[in-house]
Amino acid sequence: MIRIKIIGVLFIALALKSYAQETKTPTPQWRPVYHFSPPTNWTNDPNGLIVLNGEFQLYYQHNPFENKWGHMSWGHATSTDLINWKNLPVAIPEVMSKDTTTWIYSGSVVEDKNNTSGFGTNGKPPLVAIFTADQPKQKKESQFIAYSLDNGLTYKQYAANPVIDLNKRDFRDPNVFWHEPTKQWIMTVAMVDEHMVRIYGSKNLKEWTKLSDFGPSGYTRNGWECPSLLPITVDNDPQKTKWVLFVSCGGDHGPLMQYYVGDFDGTTFKNDNSDDKVLTVDYGDAFYAAIAWRDAPANKKLLIGWLQNGKQETYPWKGQMSIPHDLTLKTTEEGVRLFQDPPAMLSKGLSKVTKGSVLSKKNIDVDNKAITLSKKGAFDSNSIWIEAEFLINDSKKVGFNVVANNDQSKKVVVGYDAEKQQLFIDCSSSERENKQAVNLVQTAPMKAVNGVVKMKVLVDKSSLEVFGNDGEKVISTMIYPDKDATGVSVFAEGKATLKDLRIRELK
């Protein structure tokens, strides 16, 4: 039984990561403008997110040699605005020795300010990376650490690795943070096949003590990966904090990522909801393996995920990150729920790439006939950012057609279905070859507020992210429009008013 399960999990993981044939045909039409993608070769999960001297560090699962998954190493990029990225040399390469290969799987980085690990020298605190060492030959995963004394450019492996070894095949993705009330480092790490998150504590990042297990709970059909636990403010009240546990759970029949809201006392995470409650992070088929910068300015927690690729190949890179999500918690009718909106601080970075058109309009009546917003030279680059507020009136659907070709036979429809009370992305006219049938239409339950629905629609060449009602619901997906499919229009089925519209084009 267990073997079958393990093979099942591996099969799903591999299926996600090696979907299609490799191509060598360049695909500049799908290279994102305002999302991170590596200059060349493969990426999947974000890793080691930390802010150092005002600079966001992004490490990423990377194959430095090929445009497909393998030779896992940590690529490295930095940014001051989360839009414009500088790519740097590989920070942690795979380790090869005579009898084994060690792949550097997902993990995190902490700044060890008090030098608890003793890796620091001359009063300079070290950065410590905590990650999974995957040893394919041994069929084993254990937790390793490595440290950097050059601001995260290069890391040295700790001589006494592994720091946690349960002799397991699937045990991965440690995420570590400092817990001030109990004065210790806390790690969450996935017991993949058990659908559990194991919580460890440590005083020095080298010796770890098991504190508790969380799970199985929520969605458990597939293996669990990339857990992380974050304190998040509730209802904008700094006095009110809840802990949110994120788990990537690879759902082919459920969410790709789920979250739990509860409390953490330094030992145990206590879920506020019952174990049968499933809370979805993102309702699309792409947002996966997300972790957060915990220490962003203004105490923001910014979640960023890998946008899984679908079947289509891109070249000379494959894989990209999502736009960061600014995380907050709000008390709703259903309980305390996660809200995720693009961070306000992105505007600085976006203005640097706003070289195209900008349009702001109010009170546009939309009445069954779509109104074209793009024209030659304006909003026709498939790299646009739309913010809209619709007064729905009695219309059945409102929204935007994006990446449309001339005769509108191919397009992606993003909108709100007032009858079904759903935010949706409908790719059925253009993505049949790239997506599984169940993912052609992706939806999230959402209600209009006093007849008004808000949406942010982010199109960036091959990614599409829609945020509904100020981050109440998110749907992220990958799209692969034809080169000439760049049209944008606004539509309504019935009469609606587009109260507020802002589009900018990013180049």
Q: How many residues make contact with ligand FRU (CB under 6 A)?
A: 13
**Closer residue to ligand FRU in complex, CB, 285/417:** 285
Nearest-angstrom CA–CA distance, 130 and 266: 19
Q: Work out which of 112, 173, 193, 426 binds ligand FRU, going by CB under 6 A.
A: 173
Q: 397-400: long-range contacts (C-beta < 8 A, 24 or more apart)?
A: 397/491, 397/492, 397/493, 397/494, 398/366, 398/453, 398/490, 398/491, 398/492, 398/493, 398/496, 398/498, 399/424, 399/455, 399/490, 399/491, 400/457, 400/488, 400/489, 400/490, 400/491
> Would you call 45 a catalytic residue per the annotation?
yes
Report, in Å, the least distance between residue 491 CB and ligand FRU. Answer: 36
- Which of 125, 107, 109 has its CA nearest to residue 117? 125
| Footprint of ligand FRU on 10-29 (CB under 6 A) | 13
CB nearer to ligand FRU: give 132 or 383: 132
- Other residues' Cβ atoms within 10 Å of the Cβ of residue 7: 10
Name the token pair of 249. Answer: 């759970």
Among 83, 133, 197, 226, binds ligand FRU (CB under 6 A): 226
CB neighbour burial string for 317-347, b if at least 16 within 10 angstroms, e if fewer:
bbbbbbbbbbbbbbeeeeebbbbbbbbebbe
Asked if 109 touches ligand FRU (CB under 6 A), the answer is no
Give whichever of 44 and 477 is closer to ligand FRU, judged by the CB atom: 44
Nearer to ligand FRU, 140 or 397 (CB): 140
Using alpha carbons, list the distances in angstroms from residue 287 to 178, 283, 326, 428.
Answer: 26, 8, 15, 19
**What is the closest distance, in whole angstroms, from the C-beta atom of residue 63 to ligand FRU in the complex?**
9
104 vs 25: CA distance, rounded Å: 29
- If the CB atoms of residues 218 and 399 are measured against ligand FRU, the closer one turns out to be 218
For 12-100, strand residue ranges (E) read 41-52, 55-63, 73-79, 86-92, 95-96
**Using rule CB under 6 A, residue 282 touches ligand FRU:** no
Minimum CB separation of residue 172 from ligand FRU in Å reads: 5
Per rule CB under 6 A, is residue 318 in the interface with ligand FRU?
A: no
User: Which is it for the CA torsion 138, 141, 146, 151, positive or negative?
Assistant: positive
Contact 93, 154 (CB under 8 A): no
In the complex, the smallest distance separating the C-beta of residue 105 from ligand FRU, rounded to whole angstroms, is 3
Contact call for residues 398 and 492 (beta carbons, < 8 A): yes
Closest to 233 in 3D by CA, of 300, 182, 177: 300
Shortest Å, Cβ 320 to ligand FRU: 14
Is the CB of 226 or the CB of 384 nearer to ligand FRU?
226
Compare residues 47 and 383 and give the one whose CB is closer to ligand FRU: 47
108 forms part of the interface with ligand FRU (CB under 6 A): no
Cα separation, 79 vs 84, in Å, equals 6
One symbol per residue from 334 to 373: x for binding ligand FRU (CB under 6 A), - otherwise; what is it?
A: ----------------------------------------
Residue closer to ligand FRU, measured from CB, 226 or 353? 226
Pair 236, 209: CB distance under 8 Å? no
The position carrying tokens 């990958």 is 478
Of 45, 134, 173, 193, catalytic? 45
Site string for ligand FRU, 29-68 (x = CB under 6 A): ---------------xx---------------x-------
Using the Cα atoms of residue 324, residue 329, residue 330 and residue 331 in order, give the sign of their dihedral: positive
What is the C-alpha to C-alpha distance for residues 464 and 473, in angstroms, rounded to an integer? Answer: 14
For ligand FRU, the binding residue among 58, 197, 279, 289 (CB under 6 A) is 289
Q: How far is the CB of 132 from ligand FRU (least distance, A)?
A: 5
Q: What are phi and psi of 275, to 5 degrees?
A: -65, -20
Roughly how many angstroms between the first and final C-alpha of the chain, as a whole number?
52
Locate tokens 């209009």: which residue?
448
Position among 172, 195, 410, 456 found at the interface with ligand FRU (CB under 6 A):
172
CB of 382 to ligand FRU, least distance (A): 27
Binding mask 77-106 for ligand FRU (x = CB under 6 A): ----------------------------xx
Name which of 61 and 401 has its Cβ closer to ligand FRU: 61
Q: Which of 132, 280, 357, 439 binds ligand FRU (CB under 6 A)?
A: 132
Q: How far is the CB of 142 from ligand FRU (least distance, A)?
A: 12
Query: In the complex, what is the shortest distance from the CB of residue 82 to ligand FRU, in angstroms, rounded to a whole number?
Result: 21
Q: Give me the active site residues, please.
A: 45
Binding residues vs ligand FRU (CB under 6 A) = 13, 44-45, 61, 72, 105-106, 132, 172-173, 225-226, 289
